[in-house]
Structure 1
Amino acid sequence: MSDPASNRHLYWAVAAAACLAVAGGAAFYYATLKNAEAARGQTADRTVTITATACEPMELSVPGGRRSFEIINASDRPIEWEILDGVMVLAERENIAPGFRAGLTVQLQPGSYQMACGLLSNPRGTLTVTPSDEAAQAASEVTLRKFLGPLSEYRVYLVMQGNAALKSAQDLRAAIASGDVAAAQTAWAAARLPWRHIQPLAYRFSDLEGRIDARATYLAGREEDPAFTGYHRLEYGLFARNSTEDLLPVADQLVTDLEILKTRLREAPLDPQLLISLPVDTVDRIAQGQITEGENIYAGNDLADLQASVEGVAKLVGLLRAVVAPVDPPLDERIGARLAQVQADLDALKQGGGFPPYASVPADRRAALAADMTGLGAALGALPDVIGMN
């Protein structure tokens, strides 16, 4: 028979642990929201409500220039909202929890754009940006001469990492074809790293990104949805099901999509405004979404992915610091210090030279990482005014 006293002690230990978990989660979520609000600190020009099936309103019109939007999730699923120019994502906010709202600020030139409204299967809305003096002045302030070197160097980086992403996907396909689950799991983890290096720009190609990096949470049918493809579909099969069954066609499609992406990375137009916006958008997306809940929910290796993302951001930051350093040394130093703090946060999470499963990272450590990532985004957000762009 069990000891009643021991049972009571066990009961109170479990209860205390549960309370700590709830308190830690609440503190993390509160810290994340407060940091997001502090980073924005402004009134939105327009409000968009996302329901289960659409945006409300489905048609918006704003004058060109720097515009802010408030996105409210009135559905029962986490959602994302994007501004699209054809297949290119101009700006987006993801991982907005049901009943919550998020802000987004973006520089817009006159034109007609689409709005992605929650689930990928939902119809898209229309955003019309009208001409304005502010937009005309912003366009005239772009000084290409300052950015010729950084733009050329980033192009080389994209080509090299695009090649690496394709090669690693081919290795992953070979491992899946062999039926060796352990080898395929290792190849999958390795294949994620060059993808995360190029993701700041690759994320802008919405058609490819939706096939390459789709997550089940954003699909109506979740894991059973036919649109669940790419890295995370392979992750689900290899880690959740511990099998290579039915994965070869998915791996084939991933290789094909990365071949297309490699060409787009080589040919995509790069300009100063895009170069400045890429690290800000990436850092914000990581702080608001990936750190909060994690992304690789079946493999649990989010910290290695986050490290690769920071490396991709660091490449962009290094190029931009070369432009800003002669103009505003204090801002250059602040950006460097913020980036170093984010890297220090990741280094502190390592165990035995490697990263532990993401589920083992305490809520307060995630909150600290999200806060420091938000701080880096805020520092990077000062770049446009300093280096000649609105």
Structure 2
Amino acid sequence: MFVVLAVVLGGTLLAYSLGGPRHGRSAGAPSGHVVVDVSESHCGRGWTRPEPGVRTFDLHNSSDGAAEVYLEDPASQAVYGEVEGIGPGTTRQLTVRLGKGAYAFKCVPDDADAVTGPTVHITSGSRGPGAAPVTQHDLIPPALSYQKWVGGGLDDVVRLTATLKDAIDRGDLAAARSAWLPAHLEYERLGAAYDAFGDADRAINGTDAGLAGGVRDKDFAGFHRIEYGLWHGEAAAGLRAPAAALVKAVTGLRDSWSQTRMDPAQLGLRAHEILENTVQFELTGRTDYGSGSNLATSRANLDGTREVLSRLRPLLATRYADLPGLDKELDRAQHSLDGFRHGDDWTSLDALTRAQRERADSVLGDLVERLASVATLCDPRRTV
């Protein structure tokens, strides 16, 4: 795997990688390319004519193990480009805009200490943005803060889900339909924690995807099982057991949450994935089982994204050059989605005009691209 860091001219990321592995090349590099050695003994060797401008480096791993490579300022350790997973005997490309300053390649073998190559000085030009590396230690405080917030959110999910169950138990399906959406949206706001929820998420928020019996399958459970029944004329008697199982599942998750440990290294990635999944599943209607609430769920997912970003903001403030642009896009997406709300009701996807549908797709799609920068910048890097 190699990491695509950026199109440098966009100003929001660091560099970008091109192409797949090319094995054991002995011929010269293409015109304008610089072949750089990746190994413990010769890290960074081969770059002898430093010049400003956009340059492409062919990073050739001459060692017998995989490695990742950073192009950084050796004094500040600000990273200007990165490629992960360069296999032994293979070559990856890294394209980066260079300008006035000092640079060095850092080779980080999988099973050995990092090695920094010779420093190269460029005396003119404007270089692309760099970012100080984020370490696992840097991410622990925001992860703990977020995990505490999730615990409070689970308390609310349990309370709201119990209200849903009570309405079903007394046979008041109109009240159950009104109670379903607040409970479901409260759970959806916790999106960055889904990986840590494990199997409980399937029981709480799973779909019928992969189930042989589809919506009739005995293993179809959770919010969407109840949604299907409430909006497809199922009697209260058939929904009592799924509602009880849902309350049991969210209560069990809430009660065990204090013993769960989220992976701090995943926090930046989750900030991106929440809305990536929103575009993939909510805006396509794949998770609509009758309530027509996909746009409401998208709005809840946006709230969840903001919660993650609020914890990461101290790290991003000094690393993400276009953080104000991200904030502007978040506000634009919120304004766009709020336009589909009418009191307690939301416009369904089916009721959108083509122009409205395209606008929603565009706004959230643009935001997902910007959040890819957050995932990249908050990916922990080895510094030793």
TM-score range, shorter chain: 0.5 to 0.7
- Which position in structure 1 is the counterpart of 2:271? 279
* Partner Cα distance (1:384, 1:191) in 2: 29
Cα separation, partners in 2 of 1:311 and 1:43, compared to 1, 3 Å: farther
Which TM-score applies when normalising by structure 1? Answer: 0.61
Q: Which runs of 5+ in 2 are unaligned?
A: 1-15, 22-65, 70-83, 86-107, 115-132
Cα separation, partners in 2 of 1:263 and 1:135, compared to 1, 3 Å: farther
Q: Kindly provide the amino acid, as one letter, of the partner of residue 217 in structure 2.
A: D
Whether 2:380 is the aligned partner of 1:371: answer: no
- Which position in structure 1 is the counterpart of 2:332? 341
**TM-superposed deviation, 1:242:** 4.8
Whether 2:299 is the aligned partner of 1:307: answer: yes
Cα separation, partners in 2 of 1:175 and 1:270, compared to 1, 3 Å: same
**TM-superposed deviation, 1:365:** 2.3
**TM-superposed deviation, 1:182:** 0.6
Q: Kindly provide the amino acid, as one letter, of the partner of residue 222 in structure 2.
A: G
1:320-370: CA deviations, max 9, x gaps? 223211233x32112212212211220232346852233212343233323
- Which position in structure 1 is the counterpart of 2:158? 166
- Which position in structure 1 is the counterpart of 2:117? none
**TM-superposed deviation, 1:134:** 5.6
Identity %: 22
Whether 2:281 is the aligned partner of 1:289: answer: yes
**TM-superposed deviation, 1:291:** 0.5
Q: Kindly provide the amino acid, as one letter, of the partner of residue 212 in structure 1.
A: I
* Partner Cα distance (1:181, 1:136) in 2: 62
Whether 2:312 is the aligned partner of 1:320: answer: yes
Cα separation, partners in 2 of 1:135 and 1:188, compared to 1, 3 Å: farther
Q: Kindly provide the amino acid, as one letter, of the partner of residue 213 in structure 1.
A: N
Q: Kindly provide the amino acid, as one letter, of the partner of residue 189 in structure 1.
A: L
- Which position in structure 1 is the counterpart of 2:91? none
Whether 2:207 is the aligned partner of 1:212: answer: no
In the alignment, is the contact (CA less than 8 A) between 1:235 and 1:299 conserved in 2? yes
In the alignment, is the contact (CA less than 8 A) between 1:173 and 1:251 conserved in 2? yes
Cα separation, partners in 2 of 1:206 and 1:41, compared to 1, 3 Å: farther
SS of structure 2 residue aligned to 1:247: helix
- Which position in structure 1 is the counterpart of 2:11? none
Q: Kindly provide the amino acid, as one letter, of the partner of residue 276 in structure 1.
A: G
Cα separation, partners in 2 of 1:377 and 1:261, compared to 1, 3 Å: same
In terms of fraction of residues, the more helix-rich structure is 1
Matches within 5 A, 1:1-390: 133=109, 143-328=135-320, 330-351=321-342, 354-387=345-378, 389-390=380-381
**TM-superposed deviation, 1:160:** 0.6
- Which position in structure 1 is the counterpart of 2:44? none
**TM-superposed deviation, 1:166:** 1.0
Cα separation, partners in 2 of 1:377 and 1:353, compared to 1, 3 Å: same
* Partner Cα distance (1:212, 1:369) in 2: 27
Cα separation, partners in 2 of 1:222 and 1:325, compared to 1, 3 Å: same
* Partner Cα distance (2:20, 2:167) in 1: 49
SS of structure 1 residue aligned to 2:284: helix
* Partner Cα distance (2:18, 2:229) in 1: 43
Cα separation, partners in 2 of 1:42 and 1:167, compared to 1, 3 Å: farther
* Partner Cα distance (2:260, 2:317) in 1: 27
Residues matched between the structures, number: 269
* Partner Cα distance (1:380, 1:152) in 2: 21
Cα separation, partners in 2 of 1:220 and 1:203, compared to 1, 3 Å: farther
* Partner Cα distance (1:264, 1:302) in 2: 29
Cα separation, partners in 2 of 1:168 and 1:364, compared to 1, 3 Å: same
1:98-117: CA deviations, max 9, x gaps? xxxxxxxxx99xxxxxxxxx
1:208-248: CA deviations, max 9, x gaps? 22221222344221111111111111111111115312211
In the alignment, is the contact (CA less than 8 A) between 1:214 and 1:228 conserved in 2? yes
Which TM-score applies when normalising by structure 2? Answer: 0.62
SS of structure 2 residue aligned to 1:292: coil
- Which position in structure 2 is the counterpart of 1:80? none
Q: Kindly provide the amino acid, as one letter, of the partner of residue 278 in structure 1.
A: R
Q: Kindly provide the amino acid, as one letter, of the partner of residue 366 in structure 1.
A: R
**TM-superposed deviation, 1:64:** 8.6
In the alignment, is the contact (CA less than 8 A) between 2:185 and 2:300 conserved in 1? yes
Cα separation, partners in 2 of 1:43 and 1:353, compared to 1, 3 Å: farther
In the alignment, is the contact (CA less than 8 A) between 1:202 and 1:261 conserved in 2? no
SS of structure 1 residue aligned to 2:238: coil
**TM-superposed deviation, 1:137:** 8.2
The more displaced of 211-220 and 347-356 is 347-356
Cα separation, partners in 2 of 1:327 and 1:183, compared to 1, 3 Å: same
